[in-house]
Structure 1
Amino acid sequence: MSTEKRPNSAKDYDKFLPTIGFSTVATEEYTPQKRDIVVIQNIDNHPHGHIAMYDGEHWISDFEHRDFWGGQSYRTIKPKHTFFRWKQ
């Protein structure tokens, strides 16, 4: 999969991922599946937002998460976020 023309900020992957074969997944009663991606919008002190992928057991970005939020600031504020799944 090519990541050519990918955005610089994690928060902008919500527009990029659909162009390379991912579709959005409803957040109601969401159950993660291996290879799902979450794109989290920016908050104060985190202008680029956050992105992580589910490996079947954990959410991972540049570190292993305890949940998809990836940090207490995101967990507290709960900014807009979108789940994506590879179209099969």
Structure 2
Amino acid sequence: MAWDKDAAVAYLVKHAGAKSRSECATYTRQAISAGGINLIRTGDAKDYGDSLLKAGFTALPASAAPEKGDVAIIQPYPGGNISGHMTMFDGKNWYSDFKQRDMYPGPGYRRFHPPYVIYRKK
């Protein structure tokens, strides 16, 4: 099955809640699977970069604007969740296990701006 970013995004938007369930990687991975790609599972959201690369995604330069179906892997920040964060862009909003107000899932991420990489599958 080829990559269907529309199916992936539709799945994620449909299943996202109003607030975090602390399962960002599970929801985003399941959405990617609904789009036709099964990722190698990792223990933490912060570690999904290699799995995305092995599945044919490309890491984008920091200056790239996100597009529908892009996935961001965000590293943890000091004092925050050690698992980091994984989220997908629907073309307008970022989603994980909930609809986010921006790419960062919470105030600690917005304050510390930890390193992140956005991945795209062509």
- Structures share fold, TM-score greater than 0.5: yes
RMSD (Å) for aligned C-alpha atoms: 1.0
| Identical-residue share of aligned pairs (%) | 34
TM-score, normalisation: structure 1: 0.90
Which residue is equivalent to 2:99?
64
**The structure with more helix, counted as a fraction of residues:** 2
Matched, 1:77 2:97: no
User: Which runs of structure 1 show a deviation greater than 3 angstroms over 4 or more consecutive aligned residues?
Assistant: none
**CA displacement, residues 29-62 of structure 1 (integer Å, 9 cap, x when unaligned):** x311000010000122301000100011110001
Which residue is equivalent to 1:45?
80
Matches within 5 A, 1:16-55: 16-28=51-63, 30-43=64-77, 44-55=79-90
Structure with the greater alpha carbon radius of gyration: 2
Matches within 5 A, 1:5-24: 5-24=40-59
Distance 1:45 1:54 in 2: 22
Which residue is equivalent to 2:21?
none
**The structure with more strand, counted as a fraction of residues:** 1
Matched pairs, number: 85
TM-score, normalisation: structure 2: 0.66
Listed as ranges, the gaps of 5+ residues in structure 2 are: 1-36
Which residue is equivalent to 2:38?
2
